Amino acid sequence: MTQKHVQAPRTRQDCEALDRADPLAGMRARFALPDGVIYLDGHSLGPATHGALERLARAAGEEWRRGLIRSWNDAGWFDLPARAGARLARLVGVAPGEVTVTDSVSVNLFKLAVAGLRVLGSRTVMVQSDEFPTDQSIAAGIADAGLGELKRLEPKDALAAFGAYRGVIIRSAVNYRTGEAADIDAWEQMAHQSGNLIVWDLSHATGVLDLRLGQRGAKLAAGCSYKFLNGGPGAPAFVYARADIAQQLQSPILGWFGQKDQFDFGASYEAKDGAARFATGTPPVLSLSALDAALDAFDGVDLAQTSAKARALGDLVIMRTEAMGLKTISPGEAARRGGHVSVRHEHGYAVVQALIARGIIPDFRAPDAIRFGVAPLYVRHVDVWDAMDTLSDVLATRAWDRPDFHARAAVT
């Protein structure tokens, strides 16, 4: 899994030079980062932006408090899902009307997978055995509800197995544990050849990788907005449905925000055009307002540069942790990696707690993975260098070996 780290910084001074030359350096000022903290957990929860905090205060203190129900029109609440969706469309590389903001990732994966099975006339729902647990549970739930039959695919031969069946697969664009980026082109080519559909889970990919979904033939996807998109805890998710296939699909959850002429309050149901047909209930306006403002952080950002920087920072994590004797479960080849790197340590949870106590915030995934997120808009090379220095000291001094660092909290 290791690679030759070409032109990797060898000193903190090298890192400072890279940060001075970084075309994304100015983006960091858009984030409300706390003093004395190096935040390497943006792959789990992105930090607040100044704009999102201001917008949230305005949405609650002015639009809700003073505007009351009038704000659905006067403050543009009603159009927020489509407006934010159009901004997200640029980040995933599709047309504006092909994305809407609605519900959670879990609900959206369910809706897209079931709709895909119906349009294919298939009952086979597939998922890899190393997928994020929710994705596996959604696939299993579809089968338990009698809407399909579950096939779990082993990662080493998943692509070939996918082509051998007829159905829908739920597939992460970036693996939550290892950070491995899927070969979207190869998977979509196989889907085209086999007549299958892929529902991409973009949760660990959007906002860090240059996805170009439209160019690569992707038809369906869902993703969360609180990781690299910095929408805030529990911010609503989004749906992508390519225009041509969207019109063939019917959501299995028919909610009034997915209905044409919803304020006619008719008894019959006619779905909206495009991705908007996958909307269901009333959108969470406060969190959606914060998300819309958080997306300002991506204004003027070249996504090719975010991908390149994230992978360079990941290379630095791998180089430094390998020197400490830690093994990575992430791809060493930068092009096969997303925005986080995972390394193994037998006492990984305690190590993470020791780092947090020193102002370095990564996270832990059982049984032994320490994940370092390298969100390119605000993480600097010097941040990674300093975090790795702290990690080296924590390991060398066994500072992690304290009872309070071993005590598991509810959220790890």
* Of 277, 121, 120, 100, nearest in space to 198 by CA: 120
Are 209 and 91 contacting, i.e. CB atoms less than 8 angstroms apart? no
The DSSP secondary structure of 260-281, one letter per residue, reads TTGGG--SS--BPSGGGGG--S
How many Å is the Cα radius of gyration of the chain? 22
CA 218 → CA 197, 290, 351, distances in Å?
9, 28, 39
Q: Distance between CA 378 and CA 24 in Å, rounded? A: 8
Residue 298 DSSP symbol: G
DSSP bridge pairs for 328: 343
- Active-site residue flag, 227: yes
Active-site residue identified among 201, 315, 363, 383: 201
Tokens of 248: 């063939």
Alpha-carbon distance of 60 to 52, in angstroms, equals 12
Catalytic residue, from 31, 39, 132, 278: name it: 132
- Name residues whose C-beta falls within 8 Å of residue 225's C-beta, 6 or more positions apart in sequence: 88, 101, 206, 231, 235, 236, 237, 238, 291, 294
How is 325-364 classified by DSSP, letter by letter?
A: T-EE-S-SSGGGB-SEEEEE-TTHHHHHHHHHHTTEE-EE
Catalytic residue status for 226 = yes
Strand partners, 220: 199, 241
Which of the residues 110, 226, 228, 364 is marked catalytic?
Answer: 226
Count Cα neighbours of 11 within 13 Å in the Cβ-side half-sphere: 3
Q: For the CA atoms of 90, 47, 368, 171, what is the dihedral angle to 10 degrees?
A: -20
The active-site residue out of 177, 277, 309, 371 is 371
Residues involved in catalysis = 132, 201, 226-227, 371
